[in-house]
Chain A
């Protein structure tokens, strides 16, 4: 076995040695006219070069597999027997050299994923009870251990900060490369980098249970999860290779042309066909992984490329998911006063609308905390009445105004109606009996959503649907802004699933896009489930595509990438089949022999790999 390992390790050296011998042979033939040296050096080259190939062939045969190596070995031995040393030497050299180039180029297509796995931390500094620290393998850390993380180090576990302060770059988990503040009680994730500060972290998840480990495992499995095309080709190759062996045998039996028979063996190698489809998928998945887009395998790419209907969840997907002040209308010149009073009064409640107003006041640099408040009453479902700076302030909805006999001017009534039509919730502010401001508060549509949906349409999406648990008015307004084709509002999660099923029954290929937390049933039911903006366990498990960065440009890129990858696979299969046909015609026409056939083969393998490598950099210019 030592010999085998030695040969395997030095296959590249053997390749160069063989190349040298072949050059020596030809030099002596054409410059020295010495046919003996030519014959001997080529014969020696053949013998040396066939050894690693034959070993592979033998091992495969032991596993009951008729491999390409077996075809080549038989062909080379055949050529050797009839004294065609130049053919056998060149064929073996090309085969080895081709493998060498394949290795180099394949590792390029795998590089993006490898760079991800290499970010996995390997050691952790554990703080013992006596206060001493010990560096141990990351696999040996146990849940509950306290881990020390210093500036520049990768956080080795998922956990909670118990001491210290710092900034972590969470790009590995969220896809967003920016510093996030981490203090006591903050959650931190394995694989993220502490760019500044120092932390002591109590481990809650370790080793393969961490979110990052799950992401890595997903991506690793993904690149080996075969598409339908790949599975078909695998099955095809399983029968194809033995078939070539039989055809070669028949060729010899009928034509008694030994040279023709061994040529058939070489030409029959299914090289480019076998490698073409997988290499496209690996490059495509790698491209996604680098941009925070996790695609679960070749099959997912296939179905994703066929999607014609996108179903979106509204809250948190098409919209920000947080309520903010989206409109403000003031009716006197003291807008700051109205805002400050409203914010102060709202500080008495923790209602979402109140919080939105406080946040807005803070964002506008309006100082309200120091205002004095007296005699406040909260009226449930209506608002708050209070005395601020010796004036009566009423903050609430229309109902509260009616109760308090405050009359709206015609203009105010129009404004109010307009805001409601936009799907906003409304907060009215009255100071000393007069309305001074109306705030419209809504969950704002993401700024990039409209352009992204247009881009999806341009890339092949035919039908865009929005499903939401929110009310009809808000839903219609958001849909109108975004150019959504179909809207269904006031739905429960299980009703969303029903809609997805209906679309599928109508023959549509449906992708469901959600935040991955509340929509797992729909994510699982759709042809493709896309979880947006959360590298959480649930999202990773239930969806087919995970967008770690919550951005629409990532969604558009993923869709285009899937289409591009499928196209690339088709190109590669076409190239491979054309090469086989070309070789066959060449054989019949008599201009292709063993060495030239092997050359065309190896060249075609490199062509499909290079073609796939174009996917690695796909979209580099267009995306941010």
Chain B
């Protein structure tokens, strides 16, 4: 795990969306700890950038039907 990806989503309204997003993102290879902030509408995930990248995670979330407004990648 060498990078931290932060996805800013549209406002989340249902608490069950959390689990949904968290499980789906976690299922991707190369993803470590995942935190979904319900009120801030953010997904924070630690990734290994040799196995996955921010755009892939953004795709996963988009496929679940949530719009990704902004992507940010930080070094850990």
Contacts and interface: CB of A to CB of B under 8 A. Distances in A.
Given A4-B65, A63-B24, A221 B37 contact: yes
A506 B36 CA distance: 39
Interface string A90-104: 000000000100110
A373 interface: no
Contact of B40 (A60, A63, A107, A224): A224
Interface in A96-129: 99, 102-103, 106-107, 110, 113, 117
A106 to B, nearest CB: 6
A223 B40 contact: yes
Interface string A42-65: 000000000000011001101111
B50 interface: no
B14 interface: yes
Contacts of A4: 65
A359 B20 CA distance: 63
A102 B13 contact: yes
Contact of B63 (A1, A68, A221, A282): A1
B39 A110 contact: yes
Contacts of B74: 208
A223 B13 contact: no
Interface in B14-32: 14-16, 19-20, 22-24
Given A65-B16, A102-B13, A278-B15, A220 B37 contact: yes
Contacts of A55: 65
A223 to B, nearest CB: 4
Contacts of A106: 11, 13
A87 interface: no
A476 interface: no
A8 interface: yes
Nearest to B35: A224
A59 B65 contact: yes
B33 to A, nearest CB: 14
A320 B7 CA distance: 44
A60 B20 CA distance: 5
B2 interface: no
Contact of A60 (B19, B37, B39): B19
Interface string B47-76: 000000000000000111111000010100
A67 interface: yes
A113 B42 CA distance: 14
Contact of B11 (A59, A103, A223): A103
Given A65-B19, A208-B74, A59 B64 contact: yes
Interface residues of A, number: 35
Contacts of A59: 20, 64-65
Contacts of A237: 15
B14 A99 contact: yes
A556 B35 CA distance: 33
A67 B18 CA distance: 11
Contacts of B22: 63
Greatest chain A CB density within 10 A among B20, B63, B72, B74 is at B20
A8 B13 CA distance: 12
Contact of B37 (A62, A102, A224): A224
Contacts of B19: 60, 63, 65
Greatest chain B CB density within 10 A among A60, A103, A275, A282 is at A60
A274 B15 contact: yes
Given A64-B23, A223-B40, A278-B38, A5 B13 contact: no
A302 interface: no
Contacts of B67: 5
A576 to B, nearest CB: 13
Nearest to A223: B39
B65 A5 contact: yes
Contacts of B42: 220
Contacts of B11: 103, 106-107, 110
Nearest to A106: B13
Given A223-B39, A223-B40, A56 B23 contact: no
Greatest chain A CB density within 10 A among B39, B40, B66, B74 is at B39
A208 B40 CA distance: 16
Contacts of B23: 63-65
Nearest to B13: A103
A69 interface: yes
Contacts of B62: 1, 5
Contacts of A60: 16, 19-20
B37 A63 contact: no
A62 B17 CA distance: 12
Contacts of A275: 15
A457 to B, nearest CB: 34
Interface in A1-57: 1, 4-5, 8, 55-56
A68 B14 CA distance: 10
Contacts of B38: 224, 278
Given A59-B64, A59-B65, A63-B20, A99 B13 contact: yes
A220 B15 contact: no
A139 B20 CA distance: 30
Contacts of A220: 37, 39-40, 42
Interface of B: 11, 13-16, 19-20, 22-24, 35, 37-40, 42, 62-67, 72, 74
Name the 6 nearest CB pairs between A and B, nearest first. Answer: A63-B23, A220-B40, A67-B16, A223-B39, A224-B37, A63-B20
Given A220-B42, A224-B38, 16 more contacts: A1-B62, A1-B65, A5-B65, A8-B66, A55-B65, A59-B64, A63-B24, A64-B23, A65-B23, A69-B16, A106-B13, A117-B40, A221-B40, A223-B37, A224-B35, A224-B37
26 contacts: A5-B65, A5-B67, A56-B14, A56-B16, A60-B16, A63-B19, A63-B20, A63-B22, A64-B23, A65-B19, A67-B16, A68-B16, A69-B14, A69-B16, A102-B13, A103-B11, A110-B39, A113-B40, A221-B40, A223-B39, A224-B35, A224-B37, A224-B38, A224-B39, A237-B15, A282-B39
